[in-house]
Structure 1
Amino acid sequence: MIPTTFKDYYGDETRWFVGYVVDINDPEQLGRVRVRIFGVHPDDPGDADNSDLPWASVVAPITEGNSSGIGANTGLKNRAQVFGIFLDGKNSQLPLVLGGIPKYEQPPLNPLDPNELTQEKENRRGARTKPIVSTKIDEEKLRGASNVEKAFNFFMSPDGGGFSAEQTCGILGNFAVENGIMLRNVRDFDPTIQSLEKDGTRAFGLAQWNEAKRAGNRLGELIKFSTERGYSYRSMYAQLAFTKYELFKYSYFGLADLLEQDSIEGACEVFEKKYERPAAGSTEERKEEARKIYEQVVS
């Protein structure tokens, strides 16, 4: 029988965990890491900062010195998935990493991003009473007093595809409906909007890119595109640039047809059918939003 004084530390009271590394810069240089542990620590770093997590010791092979600074440090990297035990059992304050679990790494939907400024959290169908705050990359790359103006100026520019005002508003009318612009007190795009589809998959951003495999995991492609270029996928600029990238790379998204349109309504229909591909029933709403944006920005 395990003595009462020891039962929180050894034997049957040992508690296993799986988590991912969030900090490898051990101030004491002992090879420790901070681990965000599934089911123990909140998934959202805003609810528990990385600095609040305890340092976890890491098991090293007996071929290393493991004393007085002798021996190699751990090779673990941030976002590495690990498993281990809590040496203090249910108290869960003394984690010990026993090993790593290989995985395919894709950035999470809501990572901490030092390039981002604080943004309000909002449900896609909620109302917003304060201006939407842009990111640093948006401030550096985009021009305009609002996100709508920034998007308009981007698509009109050579870097954004050099579309006409009518074609641009056709694109933005679709974004307006996808992004829920008409449901906010402040009529502006919010690139951080996330929604849950009926099949349980997530949709995100200006175009509500979906993570479903049947839809080509376009949300995953947005994240990959942004990460490779050093952008935050939650930024206006990354999402606008990704839209242009998809249009020019994949012919089935309708670039050729879009460039033939000389009316707002025609451009709006093409972008809806070829790029957005939503369920039927919102075409007229998209056209109406496109006309409103034209009146707001051009007229």
Structure 2
Amino acid sequence: MKKEGEKNMLKSFKKLSTAKQDLVSGYLFISPFIIGFLMFIIVPMTISLFIAFHKYDMLTPVKFVGWDNFKQILFSDDKFRTSLSVTLKYVVMAVPLRLAVALAVAMLINRPSKLSGLYRVLFYIPSVIGGSVAVSIMWRNIFGDTGLINGVLEAIGLDPIYFFKQPFTALLILVLLAGWQFGSSMLVFLGGLKNIPNELYEAAEVDGAGKLRQFFSITLPVLSPIIFFNLVMQTISSFLTFTPAYIISNGTGSPRNGTLVYALYIYQQAFGEFKMGYASALAWILILIVGLITLLLFVTSKYWVFSENGEK
């Protein structure tokens, strides 16, 4: 009996050791993510929150100012309101455009084709390179005063359009660039379209429903969770847009602050005015704004997002 008990204890010890080994192995595999998350997300956010309540220009010691940065932003900073207004206009125009184009292209390449794989790669490329400096410079040159668009207009005898002389048209160029970067949303939509049973469309055809009716009665309701996911992700991404606005306006937000998106204004305060505390406060206000808008999207989703059982 004593030997059997020792054998059982040894087996239990070996099992326990194996479990510990698996646990250690698991943590080792995810350790790069944990270390990166702590170093590049949690630690910088903690430092930013600390600096937001201080006056700091990177040259002199930090000076505690309490809520002064936030009070100045909310009650005395006209540029804050301007940048927030420009960003909201950009989000309202860019997000629906990007999602509409992504869904339209996804429906086109969802049709059986030998080149469907090539089409996916070609349509996804703009999302990979779209946020780069080179593409922003190219976009600025295309729509510049002496760019490709005006060259074509002059060649056919029409007056040139000075896109970067008016705030609205300059912002519209940023919106068009955002609409061009639809690849990631397209792939998500494509995955959702492939999961819609063909039996639903066949039944609708038997009932006499046309393509347009099938789109609104089948495709959109079934894709509503996918639409919601893309809407949330693209809304957050649009609030953080920076590179195109910086390159196209040369970092100034011109003309007349028409392209002064919120992230660009934070950059100006941090690295133009060296107001690190003020810029950190701006960043935390942006986090709160994006969080509230995301929460609003989740609250309203119950009225238009359908579940798998067909209920909202």
For the aligned pair, the TM-score class normalised by the smaller chain equals: under 0.3
Instruction: From the two aligned structures, give the one with the greater strand fraction.
Output: 1
Q: TM-score, length-normalised on structure 2?
A: 0.23
Instruction: From the two aligned structures, give the one with the greater helix fraction.
Output: 2
Larger RCO, structure (CA 8 Å, separation 6 or more): 2
Q: TM-score, length-normalised on structure 1?
A: 0.23
Max radius of gyration: which structure? Answer: 2
